[in-house]
Amino acid sequence: MSTLNYINSFAPAKINLGLRILEKRKDGYHELRTLMAPISIGDKIEIELLPKGIEFETTGDFDVPKDSSNLALKAALLFLSHYKLKIGLRIKLTKIIPPGAGLGGGSSDAAAVLTSLKTLLSIEDSMDNLFRLAAQLGSDVPFFLFRKPALCTGRGEILNSVALPLPYPTQGLLIYPGFPVSTPWAYKTYAEFRQKGLISSSLTHEIDQPLNDLEEPVFSKYLWLPTVKNWLQNQFDPALCLMSGSGSSIFALFDKEDPLFMKKVIQHAQAHLGSDCWIRSFTILERF
């Protein structure tokens, strides 16, 4: 919703329906091939114009930084600087997506801020330039400007349209264990594992297989995660069950669209995994 001086927007989480790592690039990043899809769980961004000053407020289920290390605020400052705008803003972030979970919450917040400011301030500029700004903020930010599932390559910033509907069920369960995984650590450990010949998925499976190459290094340290994945697979036989991104969240997709089935899955998961786990059902979005 947008009025003359106020706008609010939905910033969805994403899941990786496979994440394959090809090689390390000269710039230090890894070449990726990943199918990403937005889901129905997300944060809320509200922006109000002020005469001057920048006010940034966070609320919701999770504590996140309130300084410019937060991608939502960083995106706003970059936008104002790029377009040489001397205005004030009040930004309120309602945080629903767990941070450090491999769900792209910070990147989605940044993309929502960029698109909201473009609309609110009636900036006459191409989306190509907005994508360039997004890429400065992080590899996943351009995906959330795309606003639909995409095959992402390069560092993750090169977006390719995919045929819809996706070849997967749209109903799923998402489990966040209550602790984050560092993305730089996950990729660094992956590189060390690969150098030692310890990454079996990259060697034995076709590149388009729905696998997450980061699972082996992450699971080697966070032993609770493979336990959760195995439990989901054994209990409910999902069509697909993977860690999302660099973790720590695990998701499962189910062929059954019966809401009573999903309610049963959630109840079983809560009883088995305990109250420390954040457990939600979701739907894959074809567009948002």
Distances (CA, A) of 144 to 26, 106, 141, 225: 26, 11, 6, 27
The single residue of 14, 74, 118, 229 carrying the catalytic annotation is 14
42 is in an annotated binding site: no
28 is in an annotated binding site: no
Alpha carbon distance, N-terminus to C-terminus of the chain? 14
Q: What is the C-alpha to C-alpha distance for residues 145 and 96, in angstroms, rounded to an integer? A: 19
Q: What is the C-alpha to C-alpha distance for residues 213 and 174, in angstroms, rounded to an integer? A: 19
For residue 176, the tally of other CB atoms under 10 A from its CB is: 25
Encoded tokens for 210 = 């729905």
53 is in an annotated binding site: no
105 is in an annotated binding site: yes
19 is in an annotated binding site: no
Q: Is 140 a catalytic residue?
A: yes
In the block, which residue shows the tokens 């450090």?
Answer: 100
What residues have CB less than 8 Å from 108, skipping those under 6 apart?
11, 12, 13, 14, 38, 42, 43, 97, 140, 144
The single residue of 43, 109, 140, 213 carrying the catalytic annotation is 140
Q: Is 74 a catalytic residue?
A: no
SS3 165: coil
Q: What is the C-alpha to C-alpha distance for residues 227 and 67, in angstroms, rounded to an integer? A: 36
The order of strands in the sheet holding 278-283 is 240-243, 250-254, 171-176, 278-283
Q: What is the C-alpha to C-alpha distance for residues 71 and 66, in angstroms, rounded to an integer? A: 10
100 is in an annotated binding site: yes
102 is in an annotated binding site: yes
197 is in an annotated binding site: no
Q: What is the C-alpha to C-alpha distance for residues 233 and 231, in angstroms, rounded to an integer? A: 5
Radius of gyration (Cα) for the chain, nearest Å?
A: 19
108 is in an annotated binding site: yes
Annotated binding site for ATP: 98-108
Active site positions, annotated: 14, 140
Annotated binding site: 98-108
